[in-house]
Amino acid sequence: MSASEGKSKARARRALAAPTYGRGAAILSVGIGVTGLVTFGYFALASHSLTEAEYGQITLLWSAVFLTVSVLYRPVEQLLARTIADRDARGVTGREHLRVAATIQLALAVLFAIVALALRDPIEDELLGGSGTLYTILIVAVLAYAASYFARGFLAGHHRFGLYGGLVLMEASSRFMFALAVAVSIAEGQTAVALGIAAAPIVSLAVVPWALGRRLRAEPVLVTDEDDATEFTLSHGSGFAVAVLLIMLSEQTFLNAGPLLVKANEGARGAALAGFAFNVLLIARAPLQLFQAVQTSILPHLTRLRASGETDPFRRSVNLTLLAIAAFAGCVALVMLAIGPWLMDVVFGGDFDYERGGLVLVSIGMGLYLSAATLNQALLAHGRAPHAAAAWVGCAIAFALFLLLADFDDRVLQVEIAFVGAAACLCALLHSLYRRA
């Protein structure tokens, strides 16, 4: 048997041994679906336990933390998931990709710490209402998530989806316990609820150290045939990470810029109204928790298919995912049309009135946004990260300009319209790029 035949058979064995996309997504869906409900419960309990202004500050802290960690750390998660899957499909071993990814992640964490310390006064006074406690919680949470997102990328690339789901479920559950403690009067106040945001990523890491250690001990030192070896350098990893960083920055602009700009434009009532806008956008954000199962499993799956030259299964996986998203978004829109205002009042309470039409708009925008995210993963698997990043940045800029320049009496309706329009444009642009790829 020739060397090339041996390598082909080895790759076939790896492909058969690897968990399928459907099974991986199903495993993750259970853990992450429960995670989404638990996260929803955290905010529901916080909304009922705190004043509107205090709850608004919690949502702003959450937005600031997750905007930061998604922009800074998800590029390394995606880099690891794609690179590990590609190397595994081609039979390339070694650990240089882990060292490169860890170097990038550590540099990003240090960069955040430097910037956050330099901008302490505006962050603490203008964003967090002068609370030094909330500022400290923000710093601790963001730094802790650096390790959490590295672990997620490692687990996704190696198809350890059960552990991945356990990690995010542990994170959400530990955060929920802080809000529950306040709701049942074991603890009290805004600080107790906010502490859950910092504790969650630290507690979640208890799920994975043994898995990481066992995998690294079992993995051999770099031993490859010359034809299969591809050096993974810091320059190579940084190029991909920068493109994904721009995508993540744009993504968080879509999801968090609305509440932040509402707060900035509405004076004394800004924090409470920002909490209201945040609740409305949870119709889009909560399914993103569930979609994380698809997003996490589809990138390594598509990367493996591309590395092995399987074009038809690649397209079929993308098309089936888009059809499932369309069906899900349609069901959510019908629910919002039928009982949306009542449901939002029951879950969140407060003195605001939820408009039926706006809730349906956000449901449609959610479907378009999830479709765009699926097409984005397909483009990343194709190595088209810079092209995808250009589409994301353009749509995010248009979204922000509409929020800043358009003059709406109803700021929440303005956020809803901007979200749907930007999601539609993004989906169209990424679909065009995908067809050409």
Residue 272 placed within a domain: yes
Q: Is 7 contained in some domain?
A: no
Domain span holding position 81:
22-436
Task: Answer yes or no: are the C-beta atoms of 362 and 254 closer than 8 Å.
Answer: no
* pLDDT at residue 212, rounded to an integer: 58
Q: Which residue has the higher pLDDT, 189 or 26?
A: 189
Q: Is residue 226 part of a domain?
A: yes
Please report, rounded to a whole number, the percentage of residues in the chain having pLDDT higher than 70.
81
Torsion region of 139: left, alpha or beta (phi above 0 gives left; psi -120 to 50 gives alpha): alpha
C-beta separation of 76 from 238 below 8 A: no
Determine the Cα angle at 296 with ends 381 and 35, to 5°: 165
Residue that has been written with the tokens 């993750």 in this structure = 28
- Does 384 have pLDDT greater than 80? yes
Q: 392 burial class (0-12, 13-18, 19+ CB within 10 angstroms)?
A: buried
Q: Is residue 185 situated within a structural domain?
A: yes
100 lies in some domain = yes
* Of residues 41 and 16, more confidently modeled: 41
Rounded to whole angstroms, how far apart are CA atoms 90 and 283? 40
DSSP of 59-115: HHHHHHHHHHHHHHHHHHHHHHHHHHHHHHHHT---SHHHHHHHHHHHHHHHHHHHH
Taking the model in full, what pTM does it have? 0.76
DSSP 105-155: HHHHHHHHHHHHHHTHHHIIIIISTT-HHHHHHHHHHHHHHHHHHHHHHHH
* Residue 15 belongs to some domain of the structure: no
**Which tens digit of pLDDT belongs to each residue from 87-117?**
887 777 777 888 888 899 999 999 999 999 9
Residues 6+ apart with CB under 8 A from 18: 88, 159, 304
Q: Each residue of 235-281: pLDDT tens digit?
A: 667 888 899 999 988 987 887 777 767 666 655 555 666 777 777 77
- Whether the Cβ atoms of residue 83 and residue 157 lie closer than 8 Å to each other: yes
pLDDT of residue 394: 96
Residue 73 contacts residue 107 (beta carbons within 8 Å): no
* Confidence class for position 18, pLDDT limits 50, 70, 90: very low
| pLDDT at residue number 17 | 41
Average pLDDT over residues 64-84: 88
| Number of folded domains that form the chain | 1
- Residue 238: CB atoms within 10 Å: 17
Could you tell me the sign of the dihedral formed by the alpha carbons of 140, 63, 153, 244, in that order?
negative
pLDDT at 64: 87
The answer to whether residues 333 and 363 touch, using CB atoms and an 8 Å cutoff, is yes
Q: Where are the alpha helices (DSSP H) in 308-355?
A: 311-348
Tell the residue number behind the tokens 């672990």, with chain if given: 151
Query: 253 in a domain, yes or no?
Result: yes
Q: Is 421 within the bounds of a domain?
A: yes
